[in-house]
């Protein structure tokens, strides 16, 4: 059963990811043919050719690296910067008629337009079939009596309902809002019984190594042990994956942040940790260690069970796509204000991370995967229209320059610019892929292995997520 599930996920991911690339490249291909341009190759992926087929003088290929694709148009500077041009091709190349700059622009923008059209189609399907939405109820866990939040009157069991007037349905939404904001002070509204009250809270960086901002508000749901590191305090104490950490040194633990705080307060003294395992509380002696100035026990937190609540009908296509556009704008804005937000290039995901997230969603519910494709297609459209040589936006700008000034940009200048930016783009892709494979591997494994549950709207109780 596990093997069949894995095969299903791999095939589905490749087909879905390939579909996003295909519609983009088909847009270029279709308009280029309509403009009477010569098309030499239609390729999905880069690198070594895995499959090829030729018809009407056009070579159709699927290549080894599923990180994009290209349509080879000798009348435009397209794939040569990435794939190169062989000496044989250069010798056999025949002079081709010049094409107008407006035809170049039409071909360039056709790919992103097709991504938007595909995103609207997917969003329309999602509206009719519904969309599960992940909910980690934003319920406050056990607060330290010495904390600023406790002094303000916030207590365990209080529910976060709004941040700066924006409705907050889950902790995920709260984390996203604070992480991408350029300010660190927020008006947070809580609900206790039937009474609402608001306090201004300050979000602080998670750590020196992880400068992304978050509130010092523990989740009510206890931290779950993911991976146990060999040779560390946790493995010597006997902690196991999927243990729920209930208390440390007799102090009840309501969330990851509280556990981290209590470890720092305890220091490297021997203490007792209580975990919930197979329905029973297990008490284990543990001696935390001081590593690089921080007290650690040697565990990576797991995500734990995830609860999705059915939304039917789903968001309207306009709501869906506008939310994606807003998220992308906030992300780009946060990247250019790293000192305030802590969000850097290393926090982005490349093809490996995208495929991993898509796989986790395919495994959970096909509608989540379709919704992720909406985000992916809108991102492809926007990023490709950035005015950078080698991207569609770069071709559009060069076409505009030629059309307005009626002068052709020197081919050598185009080649140098395109090659330089192609190298920079590939370097960026390798950099984010390194972080996906090395730094975030455990996160993606947790996403894939986490238990999930999709509930009907009538039963969205917080207790179901424990």
Q: Per residue in 410-421, pLDDT tens? A: 777 877 887 788
Structure tokens at 232: 């560390």
Check residue 83 and give its pLDDT.
45
Q: What is the tally of structural domains in the chain? A: 1
pLDDT for res 201: 92
Quick one: three-class SS letters along the chain?
CHHHHHHHHHHHHHHHHHHHHHHHHHHHHHHHHHCCCCCCEEEEEEEEEEEEEEECCEEEEEEEEEEEEEEECCCCCCCHHHHCCCHHHHHHCCCCCCCCHHHHHHHHHHHHHHHHHHHHHHHHHHHHHCEEEECCCCEECCCCCCCHHHHCCCCCCCEEEEECCEECCCHHHHHHHHHHCCCCEEEEEEEECCEEEEEEEECEECCCCCCCEECCCCECCCCEEEEECCCCHHHHHCCCCCCEEEEECCEECCCHHHHHHHHHHHCCCCEEEEEEECCEEEEEEECCEEECCEEECCEEEECCCEEEEEECCCCCHHHHHHHHHHHHHHHHHHHCCHHHHCCCHHHCCCHHHHHHHHHHHHHHCHHHHHHHHHHHHHHHHHHHCCCCCCCHHHHHHHHHHHHHHCCCCCHHHHHHHHHHHHHHHHHHHHHHHHHHHHHCHHHHHHHHHCCEEEECCCCCCHHHHC
**Position 117 in a domain:** no
pLDDT tens-digit profile of 58-117?
Answer: 999 999 887 778 888 887 765 444 444 444 544 555 666 778 888 989 999 999 999 999
Domain of residue 306: give its range: 221-311
pLDDT value of residue 196: 93
Q: Is residue 376 part of a domain?
A: no
pLDDT of residue 109: 94
253 lies in some domain: yes
Residues in the chain, total: 466
301 within domain boundaries = yes
Q: Is the pTM of this model over 0.85?
A: no
Predicted local distance difference test score (pLDDT) of residue 128: 94
Q: Has residue 160 been placed in a domain? A: no
| Spans of the chain below 50 pLDDT | 79-87, 89-90, 458-466
Cβ atoms of residues 184 and 202 within 8 Å: yes
Does residue 278 lie within any of the structural domains? yes
Q: In this predicted structure, what is the pLDDT of residue 169? A: 80
Q: Is residue 288 part of a domain?
A: yes
| Domain-located, residue 248 | yes
The CATH number given to whatever domain includes residue 295 is 2.30.42.10
Strands 204-205 and 213-214: antiparallel
């Amino acid at each position: 059963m596990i093997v069949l599930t894995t095969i299903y996920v791999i095939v589905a991911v490749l087909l879905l990811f390939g579909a996003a690339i295909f519609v983009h490249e088909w847009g270029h291909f279709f308009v280029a043919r309509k403009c009477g341009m010569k098309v030499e190759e239609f390729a999905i992926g880069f690198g070594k050719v895995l499959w090829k087929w030729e018809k009407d003088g056009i070579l159709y290929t699927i290549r080894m690296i599923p990180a994009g694709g290209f349509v080879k148009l000798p009348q435009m500077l397209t794939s040569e910067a990435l794939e190169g041009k062989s000496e044989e091709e250069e010798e056999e190349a025949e002079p081709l008629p010049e094409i107008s700059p407006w035809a170049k622009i039409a071909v360039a923008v056709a790919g992103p337009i097709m991504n938007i059209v595909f995103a609207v189609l997917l969003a329309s399907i999602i509206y009719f079939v519904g969309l599960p939405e992940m909910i980690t109820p934003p319920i406050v866990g056990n607060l330290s009596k010495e904390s600023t939040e406790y002094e303000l009157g916030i207590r365990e069991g209080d529910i976060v309902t709004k941040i700066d007037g924006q409705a907050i349905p889950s902790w995920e939404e709260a984390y996203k809002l604070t992480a991408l904001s350029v300010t660190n002070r927020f008006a947070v509204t809580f609900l206790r019984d039937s009474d609402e009250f608001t306090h201004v809270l300050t979000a602080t960086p998670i750590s020196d190594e992880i400068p992304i901002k978050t509130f010092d508000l523990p989740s009510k749901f206890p931290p779950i042990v993911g991976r146990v590191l060999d040779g560390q305090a946790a493995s010597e104490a006997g902690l196991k994956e999927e243990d729920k950490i209930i208390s440390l040194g007799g102090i009840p633990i309501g969330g990851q942040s509280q556990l981290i705080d209590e470890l720092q307060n305890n220091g490297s003294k021997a203490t007792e940790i209580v975990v919930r395992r197979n329905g029973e509380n297990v008490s284990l002696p543990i001696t935390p260690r001081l590593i690089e100035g921080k007290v650690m026990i040697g565990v990576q937190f797991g995500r734990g069970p995830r609860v999705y609540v059915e939304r039917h009908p789903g968001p309207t296509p306009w709501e869906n796509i506008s939310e994606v556009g807003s998220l992308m704008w906030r992300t780009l804005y946060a990247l250019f204000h790293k000192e305030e937000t802590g969000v850097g290039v290393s926090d982005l995901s490349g093809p490996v991370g995208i495929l991993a997230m898509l796989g986790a969603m395919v495994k959970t519910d096909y509608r989540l995967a379709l919704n992720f494709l909406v985000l992916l297609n809108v991102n492809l459209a926007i990023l490709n229209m950035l005015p950078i040589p080698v991207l569609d936006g770069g071709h559009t700008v060069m076409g505009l320059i030629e059309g307005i000034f009626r002068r052709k940009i020197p081919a050598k200048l185009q080649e140098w610019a395109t090659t330089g930016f192609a190298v920079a783009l590939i370097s960026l892709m390798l950099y984010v892929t390194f972080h996906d494979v090395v730094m975030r591997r455990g996160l993606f494994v947790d996403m894939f292995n986490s238990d999930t549950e999709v509930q009907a709207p009538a039963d969205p109780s917080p207790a179901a997520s424990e």
